[in-house]
C-alpha cells in the first residue's frame, strides 16, 4: 500500500503552536479530513482535497481515511489539540480493528499541544503536580463512571483537567460535577475556566469551588482544578511540585 | 521592568516538534537557563548567554531567571517536553512567590509536546480515554501518596502515564509499582515502555502487566498503562473511547 494516514494535532488554535512535523504532513497530503472548523484551518491548494464533516462522525471519518489510503492517497485527519487526547487517534484504531488487514496500513499519529496544556500554560502551572484528564461527555461512557472518577480523583488529591464540560447529553450535569467536586475537595479549592485559549476570544477566570457556577464554562472552555495546595501568585495559579 | 522570563517546552527531542512560538522566544532571548542536556539543544549565537546547570536545582534556576529579568534581561528557561508537566513552570512560580513584587514580573509559559503525548502517539492511542499522569519520583512527595494514587487510578479504570519510573530514591520502588498495578488491574492489562521517543535511540515495547519487569524502564522511559479495554491492533495499542 503506497498511501498513508496521518492523524495530526493542530494545537489549541494559534498558528505558532503548530509543529513543523504537522505542517510537513499537510504539505504532503492529497486529502484532509476532519471536523469543519479544524479543516477550515488548513490552507487550500491545488491537488489537495478537503473533506470537512460535522461533529460526532468520528468513525466515518476514520473509515474514509483508511479507504483513501487503500486507494494510494495520502490522508491527514486533523484534530484540534493532540489527536491522542479525546480526539481522532483512538477512533482511527477502532476503524482499523474492523479491517481484515490492519497491519497493511501505513499510519502515523502526530502529536500536538492539547487544550489542557495550552490552558495550563496561560493560567500558570495548575497541572504542576500529578493530575487526571477526564472527558465529561457521556456520549461514549456511562455518566456513573464519570461521577466515580471525579470522586476518586478528588480523594487522591490529583489536579484535574476536564474536557467537554458542557457536552453532557442532559442539562444540569456540569452543576452536578461542581457539587461532587465541592464535596470531595471543599469550597476553597481553586478552579479555573480557560476559554478559547490562544485565540482572539481567549478568556481566563480562576475562582474557588465555592464561587464556581456552571455557566462559567461553555463548549470552548477547559476547566482545570488545582491540587489541595494550589494557590495564586500574582495573576497566575499553580499547583506546587511538592505535596 | 523591561526584562522577562519565558519557560519554554522543547518537546520530546525531535526538532520538528518544537513550536514556532518557542523558537521565537529563543531568538529573542539574552539568556537561556536549564538542565545541561536541554540547554545543549539551543544553538549558540552572539549575544546569547547559555546557563546550563545540573539536575535537581530547579529553584536555583528559577531564582536566577527572575534576577536576570529584574536586571532587564530576557531569560528563557528551557524544559524538555511541556514546562507545565513535572517540569520548570511550577518551580518558577514557587520562586516568584518569595519575591516581594510577584506581579511586577513579565512571565509567560510556552507549552510543548510533553513526553507522555509523544510516547502515546508513537504507541498508537493508549491515552485515548480518561487518564492520570503520575510522577513516580518521591523527591518531593511521600512515597505512600504515590502508592495511594496508583490504587485509586487502577480502581477508576483510568489509563495511566508514569514519568520518572526509575527516579525513586530507593531501589525496588518500580518493582513495587508493578506489583500494585498487577493487584489493581490484573495480569492481562497492557503496559507500554516508550524509551527516548522521537530520538535516534527510540525503542517501544508493549507487554502485559504479568510479563512486565522493572528493568524494562530506565530514566529515559515513559511508562503507559492502558484502560481495562485497551488492546492491540496491528503494531499499535489503543484505549477505546468508550467504556
Residue B96 · residue A233 · CB < 8 Å = yes
Q: Is the pLDDT of residue A15 over 70?
A: yes
Q: Is the pLDDT of residue A144 over 70?
A: yes
Interface membership of A143 toward B (CB under 8 Å): no
- Residues on chain A touching B122 (C-beta within 8 angstroms): 109
Interface membership of B232 toward A (CB under 8 Å): no
ipTM of the predicted structure?
0.97
Whole-angstrom distance, CA of residue B218 vs CA of residue B203: 12
- Residues on chain A touching B21 (C-beta within 8 angstroms): 14, 16-17
Distance from CA of A32 to the nearest CA of B (A): 19
Instruction: State the pLDDT at residue A171.
Output: 79
pTM, 2 dp: 0.97
Answer whether B109 sits within 8 Å of A125, measured CB to CB: yes
Average pLDDT of span A220-226: 97
* Per-residue pLDDT tens digits for A159-187: 999 999 987 667 799 999 999 999 999 99
Residue of A nearest to B24 (CA): A16
Beta strands (DSSP E) in B10-145 are: 31-35, 49-53, 74-79, 107-110, 124-125, 131-135
Whole-angstrom distance, CA of residue A180 vs CA of residue A183: 5
Instruction: State the pLDDT at residue A167.
Output: 76
Handedness of CA A198, A202, A207, A213 (dihedral sign): negative
Interface membership of A11 toward B (CB under 8 Å): yes
Residue A230 zone, left/alpha/beta (φ > 0; ψ -120 to 50; rest): beta
Spell out, as residue ranges, where chain B has pLDDT lower than 50. Answer: none
Answer whether B121 sits within 8 Å of A129, measured CB to CB: no
CB-CB neighbours of A204 under 10 Å: 16
In degrees, rounded to 5, the angle at the alpha carbon of residue A49 between the alpha carbons of residues A48 and A51 is: 140
Task: Please compute, for residue A144, the number of CA atoms within 13 A of its CA located in the half-sphere on the CB side.
Answer: 0
Beta strands (DSSP E) in chain A are: 4-9, 31-35, 49-53, 74-79, 107-110, 124-125, 131-135, 159-163, 190-195, 203-208, 221-225, 231-233, 236-238
Answer whether A128 sits within 8 Å of B96, measured CB to CB: no
Q: How confident is the model at residue A18 (pLDDT cuts 50, 70, 90)?
A: very high
Among candidates A83, A128, A149 on the partner chain, residue whose Cβ is nearest the Cβ of B158:
A149
Answer whether B132 sits within 8 Å of A135, measured CB to CB: no
Q: Is the pLDDT of residue A57 over 80?
A: yes
C-alpha cell at A218: 461553555
Whole-angstrom distance, CA of residue A30 vs CA of residue A25: 10
Instruction: State the pLDDT at residue A120.
Output: 98
A49-53 β-sheet, strand order: A49-53, A31-35, A74-79, A4-9, A107-110
Residue A117 · residue B82 · CB < 8 Å = yes
Of all residues in chain B, what percent are helix, strand and coil, respectively (each to 5)? 35, 25, 40
Instruction: State the pLDDT at residue B1.
Output: 78
Instruction: Say whether A4 sits in a helix, a strand or coil.
Output: strand
Where is B97: in which H helix or E strand?
A: helix B88-97
Handedness of CA A3, B235, A145, B161 (dihedral sign): negative
Whole-angstrom distance, CA of residue A46 vs CA of residue A242: 53
C-alpha cell at A45: 491548494
Strands B231-233 and B236-238: antiparallel
Instruction: Say whether A140 sits in a helix, a strand or coil.
Output: coil
Q: How confident is the model at residue A82 (pLDDT cuts 50, 70, 90)?
A: very high
Among candidates A84, A127, A130 on the partner chain, residue whose Cβ is nearest the Cβ of B120:
A84
Residue of B nearest to A25 (CA): B16
Distance from CA of A216 to the nearest CA of B (A): 23
Amino acid at each position: 500500500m503506497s498511501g498513508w494516514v496521518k492523524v495530526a494535532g493542530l494545537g489549541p488554535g494559534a498558528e505558532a503552536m503548530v509543529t513543523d512535523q504537522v505542517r510537513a504532513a499537510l504539505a504532503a497530503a492529497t486529502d484532509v479530513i476532519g471536523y469543519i472548523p479544524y479543516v477550515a484551518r488548513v490552507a487550500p491548494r491545488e491537488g489537495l482535497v478537503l473533506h470537512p464533516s460535522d461533529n460526532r462522525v468520528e468513525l466515518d471519518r476514520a473509515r474514509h481515511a483508511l479507504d483513501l489510503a487503500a486507494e494510494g492517497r495520502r490522508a491527514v485527519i486533523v484534530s484540534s489539540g493532540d489527536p491522542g487526547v479525546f480526539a481522532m487517534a483512538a477512533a482511527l484504531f477502532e476503524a482499523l480493528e474492523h479491517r481484515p488487514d490492519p497491519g497493511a496500513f501505513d499510519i502515523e499519529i502526530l502529536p500536538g499541544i492539547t487544550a489542557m496544556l495550552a490552558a495550563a500554560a496561560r493560567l500558570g502551572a495548575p497541572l504542576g503536580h500529578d493530575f487526571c484528564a477526564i472527558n465529561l461527555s457521556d456520549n461514549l461512557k456511562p455518566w456513573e463512571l464519570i461521577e466515580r472518577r471525579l470522586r476518586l480523583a478528588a480523594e487522591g488529591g490529583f489536579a484535574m483537567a476536564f474536557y467537554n464540560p458542557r457536552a453532557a447529553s442532559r442539562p444540569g450535569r456540569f452543576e452536578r460535577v461542581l457539587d461532587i467536586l465541592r464535596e470531595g475537595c471543599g469550597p476553597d479549592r481553586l478552579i479555573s475556566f480557560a476559554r478559547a485559549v490562544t485565540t482572539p476570544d481567549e478568556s481566563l477566570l480562576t475562582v474557588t469551588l465555592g464561587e464556581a457556577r456552571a455557566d462559567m464554562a461553555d463548549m470552548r472552555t477547559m476547566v482545570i482544578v488545582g491540587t489541595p495546595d494550589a494557590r495564586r501568585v500574582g495573576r497566575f495559579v499553580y499547583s506546587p511540585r511538592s505535596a
